[in-house]
Amino acid sequence: MKKKLQKSALWLLLLLSCNYLPVIAQSSHLVQGTIIDKTTGEPFPGVTIIEKGTSKGTVTDMDGKFQLDVSSSQSTLVISFIGFLQQEIPLVGRSTIEVELDEDISDLNEVVVIGYQTVKKKDLTGATAVVGTDKTSRVTAASLGESLQGLAPGVSIRNGGAPGQGAQVEIRGVASFINSNPLYVIDGMIADANPTMNTNDIESIQILKDASAAAIYGSRAANGVIIITTKQGAEGTPKVSVSAKFGIQQLPPGYNMMNNVQFAEMQRTQFNNSGLTPPASVGVNFDPAINTNWYDEGTRLGNAQDYNVTLSGGSKNSNYLISGSYFENKGVLIGNDFKRAALRINTKNTKGRVTFGENLVFTNSITNSPGTGNPFYDMPLHLPVIPVQDSRFITGANPDGWGKGTTDAVTYAWNPVAVNAINSYRSNFAKVVGNAFLDVDILDGLVYRFNAGAELSFDHNKRMRRAGEWHFNQPAAPTNIIEDRSLFSSFLLEHTLNYTKTFGKHNLSAVVGHSQQHTKRDVLSAGRTDLQSFDGRYLNTVSSATGDPIADGFIPVNYTISGFLGRANYTYDERYLLTVTGRYDSDSRFGADNRSRFFPSVAGGWRISEEAFFNSSLVSDLKFRASYGELGIVTVGSWDYIGFLNSNPRAIFGPDEQAYVGATQARLANPNLGWERRSSHNIGFDAGFFDDKLTISAEYYNSLSEDVLVNLPIAWYLGNLGGEPAVNAASIRNRGIELAATYRSIKNAFKWDVSANMTTIRNRVMDVGNLGEGIDYIQTGITRSQIGRPLGEWYVLKTDGLFQSQEEINNYRNTNGQIIQPFARPGDVKFLDINDDGEINQEDRTFVGSPWPTLQTGAQFNASYKNFSFNMQWIGVFGHTLMNGVRRDIDSYQNTNFRADISPWSPDNTNTTDPRIGVSVGDPGLIDNARLESDRWLEDGSYIRLRNLEVAYNFNSSLLQRWNVSNSIVFVSGQNLLTFTKYSGLDPDVTGNGILQRGFDNGNWPASRIYSVGLQFEF
């Protein structure tokens, strides 16, 4: 459809300007002809016909006819139209020809942005994934990362879930303990594509995965590069396109917790089991009228709205695009929402040899949340016998009487409704991101470009704490307001020279240049205690508060990167491809001796299908590729290489208790910090079958990270504070296979295509540096990263069911006959004494599962018939283990509500996996049952999810066309409708707790179900 539009638009243009292409009059042989669209059988206007090897040419008229004077009756005509297969027709004496043009379903001629240059897809030598916005724009996503889930092999996405929260994007596995985020390049500006970016502005997304593709970004590219090109205006009359989408969001079902009666009964059982008197709240004072369902109280039906208006157009020498957009997401948790308004202006003008333009976006986004607490823990944990609000809770510190734990109904869970009423945190990011460029066409094939990019973010965070209490035994604290404002600025200056030349069968395109970027953040904050309120309304400025002031100001970030870059792409006869890239970077974040480094790469390709000997009716295209290169990544702060005096300590002296400044070196520094380096190999092939109806790409990669920064867990006896000094000491290898295949059938009225991709990542720690004799691992909470094993594997105690009798406990002994769990009682969890020392302790921990999937897949199916179209996206993630932190708290049974389906062990109920229930104080058996570091809480995280389902209808009616309304589409879609998983938590798509506890579900915000309707049209 896009191609049809192009076709008619181009024809329109030709009508307007008849002298579009000069018809050369010097004649020796006149050729006439007709061009037909093979699919429709209709005449094809606007097709370009050129005599090969000359500049003589013309285009077909409204009836698909043309006339051209050529130099000889033996000349060859080149017939082309964008999106159709180019044909070369030898005249062999003919003066009349008829040619059928066939639609080009292959994307081999698609232009791919590879950083400072573009190449045709068929000439790619590195591992580059191109993701069409026709796929990403299907889903409702707050950020680009989220919209990419499942669409590109080698790219792992874990959703953040909360309104305005970004997704965790990892390309080809995690190869750093500190930073696994790719580099984003937006229209040539290196800037983060976080949720402040409107995904509707994006025209194309290219993901540079291997060292060759990413090498031009050298010292920042080791985690891969995502290049985003925003939409541009096209030549033609002004076009307005409008889209609107509205969807409702639904929290996936939470844990099924007990109601008041069930809870009271279970808690009585619990206390009776321990020989204790049950609290009066579940006994004599039990109030059947109080039955709080905390999920109901803390959640709501969310929604997402997305509106875009774009005005674009242009002439031969200039084009423009202005788009305005508004996105709003009301989160499924009360008090959480995100709003973003954006205005984009992209223009480009050519005058003579000079082209200049800019891509600029202004965005303002606001995130609201209580700013503290995690209701995904509190909602299941809080007791149903405590009301949300009640007069009996009213005290001076809790004037609104928010319900909370008491000495009689002990829970330390937070009341999410109270948290939201009392606390607020509002984040406002006003940003300008963009670049301006100047191209000078110096001479044939040589272009100089000056590119200046900027990202300015005016950030304003405002936190308020009003009067009230939201949990039991809450420490007193004054009401307060804190506001901080910071300016983030990043300026990029680049000079590049591009050279493109074809001589004979040789084709060279090269770029050299210099790039420099300065990034800084400047923070100023102020606050005051003791808010004033009148009639329940709070004054919300710093000065309106009456208590003690706070002021703070610092520059946490300030660094400069400077680098020389160069790349040459050489192809011979479209068969042999060679790319050589180098970048020499210097970075102020390292000491003078470690500041600069060269990052080289090389890649080659062989398009065997272009060889004369290659003759296959089945295989229409076949290219082999191989690359090797070295990349870097900075994982340090601006001044980590220097030791500083910390002047924050305070000593209190004197009768008036004054705070006197103290100064000390708090943090030990390592002056020898440097880049993390990554050397990676990539081999792959791209193949097309059946005239490229079926395309398959496969890659094998093997990338070794060295000098990986380890926050060396230095001994506590060093007295170090403020973060452990980092050392470039570790090494991590990632290997894997990526496969992507697409089959397209577009010749019939029923058009469809199906794509699938899969990724394997085998992650291994190769070295952890010198952590002491015999230490070949890094321990992080309950995970361990050990040499020869994946990063952050679960390292916990193994359980083996429940003890069924005292006899079994007494007989559970090590080889020396020691009773292993002397504190246990029947119904307690049995742990394995791995080291056979007769007791269960940390020495018995062992590796139980990895948080990294063994297989990640995505599949998309598109179909269209007449005016209907259909899209379906699936993702499947397999083979990883999650730690269900929320279930651990619930199933610890202490001061919490209980799951409605528990069946605790008792002498009368032995056929169960739930251990006995009781009060754990003074009962080590129960305490052991709830141990965090146990495989009891590990679960298979594999899942298959119907990511998106969309049905659209295109009103291509003549009535609308008479009003110049075209391309009008309405659609309904459902996102995350189905998930197949054994995981018992809310969502197996867990972002986790940093890189080293990636699968730790610590109340992860689950992906919502979204039901949307939308409409779009153009005029």
700 to 729, contacts with other proteins by CB under 8 A?
Answer: 712-722, 725, 727
> Residue 172 and residue 633: Cα distance in Å, rounded?
15
Instruction: Note the residue count of the chain.
Output: 1019
Report if residue 451 touches other proteins, rule: CB under 8 A.
no
CB of 359 to other proteins, least distance (A): 22
Binding to other proteins (CB under 8 A) within 665-684 occurs at: 665-668, 670
Nearer to other proteins (CB atom), residue 536 or residue 922: 922
CA distances, 193 to each of 147, 205, 367, 433 (Å): 12, 11, 16, 10
Q: How would you write 880-902 as a 3-class SS string?
A: CEEEEHHHHHHHCCCCCCCECCC
Binding to other proteins (CB under 8 A) within 626-645 occurs at: 638-639, 642-645
Part of the chain binding other proteins (CB under 8 A), chosen from 185-193, 363-371, 653-661, 964-972 = 653-661
CB 945 within 8 A of CB 874: yes
Phi, psi of 279 (to 5 degrees): -60, 150
* Rounded (5°) CA angle 678-679-680: 115
Helical spans, DSSP H, in 358-429: 375-381, 416-422
Binding to other proteins (CB under 8 A) within 134-173 occurs at: none
Q: Which of 894, 900, 892, 888 is nearest to 295 (CA)?
A: 900
CB of 619 to other proteins, least distance (A): 44
CB of 721 to other proteins, least distance (A): 5
CB of 628 to other proteins, least distance (A): 28
Report if residue 275 touches other proteins, rule: CB under 8 A.
no
Report if residue 959 touches other proteins, rule: CB under 8 A.
no
Give the one residue of 286, 338, 559, 794 binding other proteins; rule: CB under 8 A. Answer: 559
Report if residue 663 touches other proteins, rule: CB under 8 A.
yes
CB of 853 to other proteins, least distance (A): 29
> Residue 63 and residue 148: Cα distance in Å, rounded?
43
Nearer to other proteins (CB atom), residue 252 or residue 924: 924
Q: Which of 48, 53, 52 is nearest to 22 (CA)?
A: 48
Phi, psi of 603 (to 5 degrees): -150, 150
> Residue 790 and residue 769: Cα distance in Å, rounded?
16
Nearer to other proteins (CB atom), residue 393 or residue 1017: 393
Give the one residue of 22, 90, 478, 907 binding other proteins; rule: CB under 8 A. Answer: 478
Report if residue 189 touches other proteins, rule: CB under 8 A.
no
Phi, psi of 390 (to 5 degrees): -160, 150
* Strand 225-230 to 183-186 pairing: parallel
CB of 712 to other proteins, least distance (A): 6
CA atoms within 13 A of residue 777's CA, in its CB half-sphere: 19
CB of 732 to other proteins, least distance (A): 20
Nearer to other proteins (CB atom), residue 111 or residue 921: 921
CB of 393 to other proteins, least distance (A): 12
Give the one residue of 572, 614, 653, 868 binding other proteins; rule: CB under 8 A. Answer: 653
> Residue 276 and residue 248: Cα distance in Å, rounded?
48
Nearer to other proteins (CB atom), residue 622 or residue 710: 710
DSSP, residue by residue, 304-330:
EEEEEEEEEEE-SSEEEEEEEEEEEEE
Nearer to other proteins (CB atom), residue 558 or residue 966: 558
CB of 189 to other proteins, least distance (A): 17
CB 388 within 8 A of CB 292: yes
Token representation of residue 856: 């990640």
- The Cβ of residue 513 has, within 10 Å, a number of other Cβ atoms equal to 21
CB of 714 to other proteins, least distance (A): 5
Binding to other proteins (CB under 8 A) within 727-756 occurs at: 727
Report if residue 592 touches other proteins, rule: CB under 8 A.
yes
Report if residue 920 touches other proteins, rule: CB under 8 A.
yes
Nearer to other proteins (CB atom), residue 579 or residue 895: 895
Report if residue 473 touches other proteins, rule: CB under 8 A.
yes
Q: Which of 510, 352, 493 is nearest to 446 (CA)?
A: 510
Binding to other proteins (CB under 8 A) within 484-513 occurs at: 493, 495, 497
Give the one residue of 550, 944, 969, 972 binding other proteins; rule: CB under 8 A. Answer: 550
Token representation of residue 721: 């504070």
CA distances, 45 to each of 6, 104, 382, 746 (Å): 11, 17, 71, 21
Report if residue 284 touches other proteins, rule: CB under 8 A.
no
CB of 595 to other proteins, least distance (A): 6
Binding to other proteins (CB under 8 A) within 924-943 occurs at: 924, 926-927, 930
CB of 508 to other proteins, least distance (A): 17
Nearer to other proteins (CB atom), residue 96 or residue 672: 672
Q: Which residues contact 195 (CB under 8 A, 6 or more apart)?
A: 142, 143, 164, 165, 166, 338, 340, 365
Q: What are residue 457's DSSP bridge partners?
A: 431, 488
CB of 500 to other proteins, least distance (A): 15
Q: Which of 396, 546, 433 is nearest to 480 (CA)?
A: 546
- The 3-state DSSP class for residue 59 equals strand
Token representation of residue 196: 């402040």
Under rule CB under 8 A, how many of the chain's residues touch other proteins?
105
Q: Which of 926, 730, 970 is nearest to 821 (CA)?
A: 926
Binding to other proteins (CB under 8 A) within 385-444 occurs at: 396-397, 406-407, 410, 412, 440, 442-443
Phi, psi of 14 (to 5 degrees): -65, -35
Q: Which of 186, 469, 504, 218 is nearest to 342 (CA)?
A: 186
CA distances, 507 to each of 76, 352, 377, 568 (Å): 22, 26, 61, 10
- The 3-state DSSP class for residue 27 equals coil
CB of 564 to other proteins, least distance (A): 8
Report if residue 562 touches other proteins, rule: CB under 8 A.
yes
CB 770 within 8 A of CB 796: no
Binding to other proteins (CB under 8 A) within 222-261 occurs at: none
CB 853 within 8 A of CB 877: yes
Part of the chain binding other proteins (CB under 8 A), chosen from 159-167, 243-251, 552-560, 699-707 = 552-560
Part of the chain binding other proteins (CB under 8 A), chosen from 77-85, 217-225, 445-453, 531-539 = 445-453
Query: Looking up tokens 């709830």, which residue turns up?
Result: 930
CB of 270 to other proteins, least distance (A): 13
Give the one residue of 22, 238, 662, 907 binding other proteins; rule: CB under 8 A. Answer: 662
Report if residue 952 touches other proteins, rule: CB under 8 A.
no
Binding to other proteins (CB under 8 A) within 769-788 occurs at: 771-775, 779
DSSP letter assigned to residue 277: P
Binding to other proteins (CB under 8 A) within 802-861 occurs at: 842
Part of the chain binding other proteins (CB under 8 A), chosen from 57-65, 239-247, 468-476, 969-977 = 468-476
> Residue 555 and residue 558: Cα distance in Å, rounded?
7
Nearer to other proteins (CB atom), residue 472 or residue 905: 472
CB of 649 to other proteins, least distance (A): 3
Give the one residue of 446, 508, 739, 863 binding other proteins; rule: CB under 8 A. Answer: 446
CB of 991 to other proteins, least distance (A): 24
Binding to other proteins (CB under 8 A) within 568-587 occurs at: 586-587
Give the one residue of 88, 110, 390, 552 binding other proteins; rule: CB under 8 A. Answer: 552
Give the one residue of 657, 801, 817, 908 binding other proteins; rule: CB under 8 A. Answer: 657
